[in-house]
Chains A and B, each alone.
Chain A
Amino acid sequence: KQEVTQIPAALSVPEGENLVLNCSFTDSAIYNLQWFRQDPGKGLTSLLLIQSSQREQTSGRLNASLDKSSGRSTLYIAASQPGDSATYLCAARDFYGQNFVFGPGTRLSVLP
């Protein structure tokens, strides 16, 4: 059964710093991995989708990498801003089922 973990659970950084959020999954048989952002009391906003055959995906200041063999994905945020403060979730789409398995999230605070 696929299990997804995220480290750290919470992170507080000053504005302008570059940072890395980590996501690990136990079963490398995945279709893809998706990173989401969740603001307090809000829904999930899709940030990046990495296909199982891809190593990297970029959108603006965000860069996500995927290493299937080691069961890891990272989300790199460049030049962080207070508006980046949110909870970041990764979800692995299970190869055998149809399910997206979520990690517990990393709560990010970017201080002005």
Chain B
Amino acid sequence: EPEVTQTPSHQVTQMGQEVILRCVPISNHLYFYWYRQILGQKVEFLVSFYNNEISEKSEIFDDQFSVERPDGSNFTLKIRSTKLEDSAMYFCASKGQVMTNQPQHFGDGTRLSIL
């Protein structure tokens, strides 16, 4: 069964440094998402991406964050100047069709640790 893959599984970065989290969505999917889960808290929506542009973003997704689909397969989340509070699990998800009722499929996440 096709799956969403995320790399790296664990990223350790110094505060203030830039970090890029990578995702390969399921190949024929059109709609892409990033979520985060701070330890012990709920899964929080960050951003959705469709047709090469951001569709919706939450208040968490401030100017420090950006997303990109640099080629036909990768979907990346960049944090420009990391803060301690950015430490969390970051999940990528994808969905086949835009407006139909379909589940999103998730990767296993990247654990981001900011020192």
- The answer to whether A and B interact is no
